[in-house]
Structure 1
C-alpha cells in the first residue's frame, strides 16, 4: 500500500476548497470573504503536492493559517483549516510528527487568543478546545484507516503467498510423480525385454531338438508380454491424468478458512451454499476453491471493499460460483494474471468465467463449471 492513496490529493483539495469557507462561516470567522476564498484556494492547491512532500505541505499550510489568523484576515481556526494536511501526514506513517505539529499549533493559538487578544475563557475553550478535540479525532481516524489497510494488505499477501506455495507444491508433486513414472516405466520395459529375450533364446535353441520346450518358452514370452502391456497402459493413463493427480487437494472444505482470513482483515464475508457439495468431484471442487481464493485476494488488495458475498450453488449438472464485493471496482481497469488464471482453470473443465463491475456497483466474479466435465 502506498503511503498516501493516489486519489487523496483530489479529494483533499475538493474538501478543503469547500470546507474552509463553510467552516469559517459556521464559526463566525469569515471576516473578509476575499481573504477566506484566497486561503481556501491556496490550501487546496497545496494538496496536489501532498503525496510527494506531506510534511512540507503541512508546515506551509499551518503557517498560512496562522498568518491569516494573526493578521485578522480570518476570525477563527488555527489548525482545522489544514485538516487535510494533517490527515495526509498521518496516512504517510508520520503520526508522531502530525501529533506534535498539531499540539504546537493548538498551543500557539491558545496563547494568542487568551494572552495576546485576551479572549474570555469560555470563548477560548469553545473555539480552541473544540478545535483540539476535532483535530485529535481526525488524526485518530486517519491512523485507524491506515492500520486497517495495512492489515488488509498483509492478509492479501498471505493469501497470495498461500496460492503461490500451493502452485509450487503442485509442481513439486508433479515432478516427483513423473520421476516415479519414469522409473517404473524403465523397470517394466527393461524387465520385460530381458525376460522375453531369455525365453526367445530358449525357444531358438530348442526349436529343432525339443519343439515342446520351444513352444513352452514362446508361451511364457507371450504371457510376459501381455503383463507388460497391461503395466504400460496403466503408466500411460497416469501420464495422461498427471496434472489432475498432482493438484493439491484444496477443495470446498477450505472455503471456511479463506473466509476467516479475510474477515480478520476487516472485510465482512458471507458464504452461502445451496445444494449438496458431497457430489462435487475433486477437480471441480479444487477449481471452485481457487476461484474463491483469487477473488477474495483481489477484493482485499484492490477493491477497498467492506463487504463481500460468496455464493455457491451445487446442482446435479454444474456448480455456480459468484463472488461480489461492494468496492470501487478498480480491478476492472486491466485484467491481470489472477483473473486470466481463473478463466483458464474454469475453461479447462468446460466452464466459463466472467469478471466485471456489478449492476449495483462493486465487482463480481461469476463462474459456471459443469460437473460432467
Structure 2
C-alpha cells in the first residue's frame, strides 16, 4: 500500500496522529473547537507530506504551536514529529536547514510562553533531533539503494555492450578465416585436376596446400568459437604479425607473386593491432585472389618509433572496390577500433588497388613482440 497508494497511506498516518493527539489516554481531555482545529492542523496535512515536505512541516508546526498554547498540556505533537522525519528523509538541503531553524524557534517559543522548566527545552529538542536523525538515516539508505541499482544497471549495460562487441569480433574473425581459406582451397582444387597429368609433383604440392589450409582453418575456427564455450578448454592464441609470412606463402601457392617488405626497426605492438594487421593482410589477399585478377602483390610494413604503416598493393583491376561484400567494411572496423586510419582505393597510377592502414604505437605497450616477417 505504501508504494501503490502513498497518498492514501499518508492520509491514514495523519488521521492516526490526529486521533492520538485528541483522544490518547492522559493527553487531551479538552474538546473545545479551537483545540480540535489546532490538533487537526498539526496532523491532517500529513496527507500531502511526500508532495510538499517543507510546506506541510511548516503548517503542522503552526498547528502544533497553536495547540500547545491553546491547551498547554500536550506532551508531544505527533504530527510535527512525522513531518520532521519526512523533511529529513525527502526534502532538499535548504528545506532541512529551514526546518531545523523553525523547529528551534518553535521549541524555544512554546517553552517560554508556557513557562516550562529550562530542562524541558533539551527534552523537546532531543525528541525532534531523534526524528530528524531517523529521517536522515532513511534518506541515506534510500540513496545507497538507488546508487546500487544504478551501478547494477550500468554494469548490465556494459556487459551487454561487451557481449555485442565480442559477437561482432567473432563474426569478423569467422568471415576473414572462412573467406580467405575457402578461396585458396577453391583455387587450388580447381587447378589440382589439371596438374595431375601435366605436373604430378606440383599437383601433390597443391593438394598438400589444400590439406594444410583446411587444417589451419579448423584450428583458427576452434580458437574463435572457443570464446563461446566459457570454462571449456583454452582459446587458441590470436594470430599476430609472425603469421604474415604463412599468408604470403599460401597466396603464392594460388599463383600470386607475393613479396613481403619490412622497413625500419620493428616495435612492440599491442595484441589488438597485431590481430588487426594480420586480418588486414589476410582479407586483402582474399580479395585479390577472388576479385582483382592480379598477378603480383606487395605487402609492406613501414615501422617508426611512433607508428606502423601497413600497405597491400596489387596490379589488378581493382574489382574488389565494388564487390558489395563486407570485406572492406570489416577491415575498416578493425583498424578504427584500434585507433588507426584506414584507406582503400585504386593506386595513383590507376593500374592496381592499394589498401593501407596506419596504427599509432604507444611508447610503452603491454603486449607481444611482433617479430620479423620474412619473405
TM-score (norm 1): 0.50
Match of 2:73 in 1: 75
Change (3 A) 1:6 1:88: farther
Change (3 A) 1:189 1:246: farther
- In the TM superposition, what is the alpha-carbon distance from 1:106 to its structure 2 partner? 0.7
- In the TM superposition, what is the alpha-carbon distance from 1:142 to its structure 2 partner? 0.6
- In the TM superposition, what is the alpha-carbon distance from 1:68 to its structure 2 partner? 3.2
Superposition map of 1:235-274 within 5 A? 243-244=228-229
Structure 1: 5+ residue stretches without partners: 207-212, 250-373
Is the 8 Å Cα contact of residues 195 and 202 (structure 2) preserved in structure 1? yes
Match of 1:63 in 2: 62
2:54 and 2:130 mapped to 1: Cα distance?
20
- In the TM superposition, what is the alpha-carbon distance from 1:235 to its structure 2 partner? 6.2
Is the 8 Å Cα contact of residues 61 and 82 (structure 1) preserved in structure 2? yes
- In the TM superposition, what is the alpha-carbon distance from 1:228 to its structure 2 partner? 4.3
Match of 1:113 in 2: 114
- 3-state SS in 2 of match to 1:31: coil
Deviations 1:27-56 (A, max 9, x none): 644422766555454444412222222221
- Select the structure of larger CA radius of gyration: 2
Change (3 A) 1:155 1:100: same
- In the TM superposition, what is the alpha-carbon distance from 1:112 to its structure 2 partner? 0.9
Is the 8 Å Cα contact of residues 16 and 81 (structure 1) preserved in structure 2? yes
1:9 and 1:99 mapped to 2: Cα distance?
25
The structure whose residues are more often helix, as a share, is 1
Pick the aligned partner of 2:12 from 11, 14, 19.
14
2:74 and 2:209 mapped to 1: Cα distance?
101
Superposition map of 1:140-289 within 5 A? 140-203=133-196, 206=198, 213-214=199-200, 216-231=201-216, 243-244=228-229
Is the 8 Å Cα contact of residues 46 and 57 (structure 1) preserved in structure 2? yes
Is the 8 Å Cα contact of residues 54 and 85 (structure 1) preserved in structure 2? yes
How many residues get paired?
228
- In the TM superposition, what is the alpha-carbon distance from 1:147 to its structure 2 partner? 0.6
- 3-state SS in 1 of match to 2:50: coil
2:210 and 2:136 mapped to 1: Cα distance?
75
1:145 and 1:7 mapped to 2: Cα distance?
20
Matched, 1:49 2:48: yes
Superposition map of 1:93-132 within 5 A? 93=92, 94-114=95-115, 119=116, 121=117, 125-126=119-120, 128-132=121-125
- In the TM superposition, what is the alpha-carbon distance from 1:59 to its structure 2 partner? 1.5
Is the 8 Å Cα contact of residues 170 and 246 (structure 1) preserved in structure 2? no
Structure 2: 5+ residue stretches without partners: 235-375
- In the TM superposition, what is the alpha-carbon distance from 1:238 to its structure 2 partner? 6.8
Change (3 A) 1:81 1:41: same
Change (3 A) 1:10 1:131: farther
Deviates more, 1:177-186 or 1:220-229: 220-229
1:7 and 1:145 mapped to 2: Cα distance?
20
Is the 8 Å Cα contact of residues 43 and 78 (structure 2) preserved in structure 1? no
Report the RMSD for the aligned CA atoms in angstroms: 3.7
- 3-state SS in 2 of match to 1:32: coil
